[in-house]
Amino acid sequence: MIYLDNSATTKPYKEVLDSYITVSTKYFGNPSSLHSLGGEAEKLLHHSREVISSLLKVENREIIFTSGGTESNNLAIKGTALSKKHHGKHIITTSVEHPSVTNAVEDLWKEGFEVTVLQVDEEGRISPEQVEKAMTNETILVSIIHVNNETGVIQPIEKIKKVVKNYPLASLHVDHVQGIGKVPLNMEGIDLCSISSHKFHGLKGNGVLVVKQGVKLHPLLSGGDQEWKLRSGTENVAGIVAMTKALRMTTELSEKQLDTIQSLKDQLFHKLNEIKEVAINTPFHDSAPHIVNFSVPKVKSEVLVHALAEKGIFVSTTSACSSKRKAPSKTLSAMGLSKDRSETAIRISMDFATTKEELDLFLKELTNAISTIKRVTR
């Protein structure tokens, strides 16, 4: 099997699964319980918070455990809007966000909030000048994805920080789900930041929202006031411990192998360019090292995905949250690409275990599949 769909989800590390089983078996107490079993679970929770905050270079109390990227994004966006609605009702986002951001913002627009959607250029990127032009004294939130989940394009977060900080009412939220472990992000100057465990070899159902000190959020869940009263519900301690191990292991691998995965991407770009039927959608520069998006015009992407799957090679079309809906890629359409390019897109997403041999076999089978599909559909 050759797995090239790591942006959809990653395979959990064996050590992560071992951690989950150990904690679930031996430390299954409720961390809010007063007895010793609950106390042991609470210690594991505190230790996980300390390790993750150290890895992300933030404070312990700024870590809020959630169920994943979607919840983190919704808590950041709706929690900010509800806490600041009496001060301002203007939100800025982009045309290439993940659905968990786009739909959360749309919900607020229906409730009377003003929304500015920044359009991207032909590479899928916005500029700090666009943000500056859109900012007003009523702006309460700027929500921008760091690494695009479809194309891997990196947004200029460092420059955008400098714009937003001049508006004291506005919070900056960064969806870092696709960037974590692959594209470094300096948390200084970011008010809210989302990550998801299953994108870095942890388990599904766990995530983190970084909420900087002084940033006010209205909780979306009412209950037992866990997670500093921002996210009620008994914590998934086993999943959190497993996520902590996954983040530590991924961080260590990133320090050693980031150059290797970048080299593989460079080679993949070069060889895809040699296939005349292929049009690459991901820009070569200022894009993540693990994602390459391309189209094969006039060849349906779902047909190509299934053809490769029959050879044991797993890729995807658009994002996993949208891939089962037969519609053009929202991101590629926003970049100004044709309907045909947007409807025939394929996404390759690697991890640190991906090898040159796997990519060579993928390219061989891709070429064969394109030839076969074109021959039978003439």
| Element of type H or E holding 133 | helix 128-134
Q: Is the dihedral of CA 45, 49, 51, 56 positive or negative?
A: positive
Nearest to 138 by CA among 105, 116, 111: 116
Sequence-distant (6+) residues with CB within 8 A of 171 are 80, 84, 140, 141, 142, 164, 191, 192, 215
Cα–Cα distance, 58 to 103 (Å, whole number): 28
Instruction: Report the amino acid identity of residue 374.
Output: K
Instruction: List the structure tokens of 26.
Output: 């031996």
- Find how far residue 306's CA is from the centre of its chain: 25
Q: 319 with 98: CB under 8 angstroms?
A: yes
Instruction: List the structure tokens of 333.
Output: 């359409």
Q: 138-149: string of b/e by CB count within 10 Å (b at 16+)?
A: bbbbbbbbbbbb
Active site residue 193: no
169, 321, 361, 373: which one is catalytic?
321
- Residue 253, helix vs strand vs coil: helix
Q: 346 with 369: CB under 8 angstroms?
A: no
| Element of type H or E holding 209 | strand 207-211
Catalytic machinery residues: 321
